[in-house]
Amino acid sequence: MEPKSSDFSAASGNGYELQMGRFSRLLAPKFLDFIEFEDSDKILDAGCGTGALTAELLRRTKTAKIVGIDISEAYVEFAACEISNPRVSFEAGDLNALLMPDEVFDHVVSQLVLDFVPNTSGAFSEISRILKPGGRLAVAVWDARGGLVFNRFFLDTAAMLDREANELRKKNFTRPLRRPGRLEEALRSAGFAEVQAGEIHIRTEFASFEDYWSPFDGTDGPIPSYLSKRSPELKNQIKDAVRDAYLDGEADGPRSYVATAWIATGRRQ
């Protein structure tokens, strides 16, 4: 059986914005600071989601043609409504089977998606195929185990109360590209040269516990997908325990947590 192209639960553009889009927009500028690209290039945003990285690419260029592609039609439709510019186009597509000619893009950027593609080698192969020789690929994924605090304390807490949460926790922390050094190894294994790697940090800000929790009541992402299958009693038990973790014995209100992403870039030979 062929592996699924993505194991990320995607249903609503608004849901993704609440769940992760607000943080993608903070990550995008720092990610692009790591990349050198010419304004006249044709750029693919591979796994564009709701368009955070595409919008930042648009702000930084004056003539570049930008194509955003995502497996979720809901996300593509949301992004197309949010970003209306003749230099930008969006389409639904599979990173393991891109319906694009060989060697058409000068650069490919991919933020917070390739770690959710089980057939990672297939995706890297397809990206290499559509890149021009000398074109650059740049990838960013969360350091979920060591550097994504708001996500981690939900999983650490829920795992103590439910075996299925512990399974989700293990899967979340052991996705191959999220391990130290593995992102650059994947680029080298895919034949990319001049590989460089680093890490970037943002702060994930929440106004209150309900601001923190509300995305988990949605439909997008691994945690909402997990919670949707729990009984009301267990879900309330988990919510109460996570609330205690958020409050830390203090009054409800704003909280700020660090979030770290691994980044790597390389050139197609």
Residues 6+ apart with CB under 8 A from 65: 41, 42, 43, 87
> pLDDT by residue (tens digit) across 97-149?
999 999 999 999 999 999 999 999 999 999 999 999 999 999 999 999 999 99
Looking at the domain assignment, is residue 142 inside a domain? yes
CA 81 centroid distance within chain:
20
Query: Residue 233 sits in a domain of what CATH number?
Result: 3.40.50.150
Q: What is the mean pLDDT of the chain?
A: 94
Q: What is the domain count for the chain?
A: 1
Looking at the domain assignment, is residue 66 inside a domain? yes
Looking at the domain assignment, is residue 8 inside a domain? no
Helix (H, G, I), strand (E, B) or coil at 28: helix
The β-bridge partners of 156 are: none
Edge to edge, what strands does the sheet with 131-142 contain?
88-92, 65-70, 42-46, 105-111, 131-142, 255-268, 192-206
Query: What single DSSP character describes residue 17?
Result: I
User: E strands within the chain?
Assistant: 42-46, 65-70, 88-92, 105-111, 131-142, 192-206, 255-268
Do residues 254 and 207 touch, judged by C-beta distance below 8 A? yes
> pLDDT by residue (tens digit) across 165-215?
999 999 999 999 999 999 999 999 999 999 999 999 999 999 999 999 999
> pLDDT by residue (tens digit) across 35-76?
877 888 899 999 999 999 999 999 999 999 999 999 999 999
Categorize the per-residue pLDDT at 14 as very low, low, confident or very high, splitting at 50, 70 and 90. confident
Beta pairing class for 255-268 and 192-206: antiparallel
Q: What is the pLDDT of residue 3?
A: 40
Q: What is the pLDDT of residue 48?
A: 96
> pLDDT by residue (tens digit) across 65-111?
999 999 999 999 999 999 999 999 999 999 999 999 999 999 999 99
Query: What single DSSP character describes residue 255?
Result: E
Looking at the domain assignment, is residue 213 inside a domain? yes
Type and span of the H or E element at 159: helix 149-159
Which structural domain range is residue 68 located in? 13-268
